[in-house]
Chain A
């Protein structure tokens, strides 16, 4: 019997005159290769690629984190330094400061994105004239490359020619060239939050929109029969039923922002001074500018464990919320 016939007829026992498929080895072989072997043949390049560009570098990085390797001084003998790199990092005030800066950025930007994104989703969820047009406009920022966003916001925020300062001046009367959004210690951290929110709030909006559209209409109809006010409907139906979606958005954005590099690097280069130097910028400087390979491998592992651990705790919480 042909193997294809077997595949096309799932329940042989119920078809009269059709015998049960022969599960012999020979039956599954075509031109000397079994189905399983062919399947492996197709999957193998992906697995090999994964091993080569993900798993192997990870294992290699763990090995390097216990050494003194510095690529700008590769003529020095490679020494095993035990946990020295990890101790150096965890006792370095600057690293803790960078982590604090990163945490502030992640919390502020994600919080703002959730508020703005959810608000936009509530608006877009209503049917109105030009609905599709406005949805497309709102989604545009997240379709741009972070490098493009970083560059054009740098121009927008330029104190002398950038329209942003003129806009602020229009509302506040403060002279446009009297302040620099990316150059002042008090403003720069908020600037990166603002630009990141502009770019990624639409992404949160999309996730929230999926949540809002998954709420069955009959629940609202029942609420209206019970004369629940729109406010009450929001607090008792809309918000609780979109919380799992919101939490998912928070998870995705928090992980992304913890790794944030390109946009901030273009906007401020971590400055003024080290005010917006996120831990990812610090890691890039240690690894590819200072060439401290051993040290930066250890830092990368610490960051990986931190994100992985936090994400796991968060996912468990998310599951509990979903079960409720």
Chain B
């Protein structure tokens, strides 16, 4: 029993010591200055934002802390945080598709009053980014974010390979036209086939890199670039949520078939589950002639000592038989409703919206959506990829931004990957099943889904 008595006093001492230490820690924390935590994805522009944020700290005295998560777990991690009303993030740069759920679930602070008070006008931003990143419901003046990082899918190509006389003459001999960045998907496929398996500088190279990732959003963000241009739409523009015959139209099925052909004919072996990083690796290692990827990565690629500078060229997502669009990327910055530092977070947004800050944001590797920056006369010459970025932002389309977007996205991931990579069924069957899946999701959400 003496042993138990000894233990009892030890436990009591430990509790007292822990309480004392806890008190001490709290005191230290309280002594520190103000701090804001900004949550975003871990990628090149995030590093630029850290650099930019130093100016904010200098001006306001508010320390900036960052929580960056890799893209493959970005949505899981932060949607979980928002769902559980966590306090990790004061500011969040959330994906465009989250806006519906974030607004309906009140995860974000509505910014209308703040914008009015601070004279921040959404008319000063590129329209597609306002609709894509800020508004919910879409096309209504209800703002939940400030456009922070404009982005879209674009293409890079090996300008040095394209300009070699022997390659140019071989291409002309085969296709009867000059080798140049493709304007249409048919041209892109021809160029892909031309480069596929070709030996350049003693190394076997491949035609094109396209998104095929299964787990998060990869293959959907890739295939939509073709689907839009083949006539695919998410629903009937005249009857919301009416998808039958629109999502699975014969044209859309042809577009899906084309993406599969492109995957089969022109990609490097093993690219069965590849997204942004794999594309960058393939391009940087000199493996592919053309690469599909987000504009956000292009500043970094341009600076690459092996494939950047004069060796790299950029082109806009090619057109298809039914139109010319590209997939919207990018995000808006929002204040998290559960944050204890909302005023400081709003002060950050006010600072970030300033034209001078936006100009610097673009210069150091971010993509501004402010018209004053992108419509400036010298903007197209400010970077090698600036003209293509500007053109792309005028032709963007985005995935569903409904509160149920995650279900809609994962359903599309499954149906498209099943068809394109796993060779399951036909393109028509894949899209028919997708309509079935999406109809079920919208019905669960309480929406009326017309069949015709």
Contacts and interface: CB of A to CB of B under 8 A. Distances in A.
B38 to A, nearest CB: 23
Given A4-B2, A73-B101, A271 B417 contact: yes
Contact of A160 (B213, B268, B414, B424): B268
Given A3-B1, A160-B268, A291 B83 contact: yes
5 contacts: A71-B83, A72-B403, A269-B214, A273-B423, A274-B414
B243 to A, nearest CB: 18
B422 A160 contact: no
B388 interface: no
A271 B403 CA distance: 26
Contact of B8 (A31, A182, A288): A31
B270 A180 contact: yes
Given A160-B270, A269-B273, A272-B272, A76 B446 contact: yes
A72 B101 contact: yes
Which of B270, B271, B410, B424 has the most chain A CB within a 10 Å cutoff?
B270
B60 interface: no
Contact of B406 (A35, A268, A273, A290): A290
Interface residues of A, number: 42
Contact of B421 (A3, A72, A177, A273): A273
Nearest to A275: B422
A128 B159 CA distance: 62
Nearest to A267: B273
A289 B45 CA distance: 25
Contact of A30 (B4, B407, B410, B417): B4
B4 A38 contact: yes
A189 to B, nearest CB: 12
Given A72-B405, A75-B104, 16 more contacts: A73-B104, A73-B403, A74-B105, A160-B287, A177-B269, A179-B269, A185-B423, A269-B215, A270-B214, A271-B273, A272-B417, A273-B418, A273-B424, A274-B422, A275-B422, A290-B407
Given A76-B446, A272-B417, A30 B272 contact: no
A268 B274 CA distance: 11
A113 B236 CA distance: 54
Interface in A279-320: 285, 288-292
A139 B235 CA distance: 56
Interface of B: 1-2, 4-5, 8, 75-76, 79-80, 83, 101, 104-106, 213-215, 268-273, 287, 403-407, 410, 414, 417-419, 421-424, 444-446
Contact of A289 (B213, B406, B417, B446): B406
Contacts, number: 117
A288 B80 contact: yes
B272 A74 contact: no
A68 interface: yes
B4 A272 contact: no
A265 interface: yes
Nearest to A285: B410
A183 B422 CA distance: 8
B404 A185 contact: no
Nearest to B218: A269
A70 interface: yes
Nearest to A268: B273
- In order of increasing CB-CB distance, the 3 nearest A-B pairs are A273-B422, A183-B272, A159-B270
Contacts of B5: 30-31
Given A182-B272, A183-B272, A183-B273, A288 B407 contact: no
Contact of A183 (B101, B270, B445): B270
Contacts of A178: 269
A159 B268 CA distance: 9
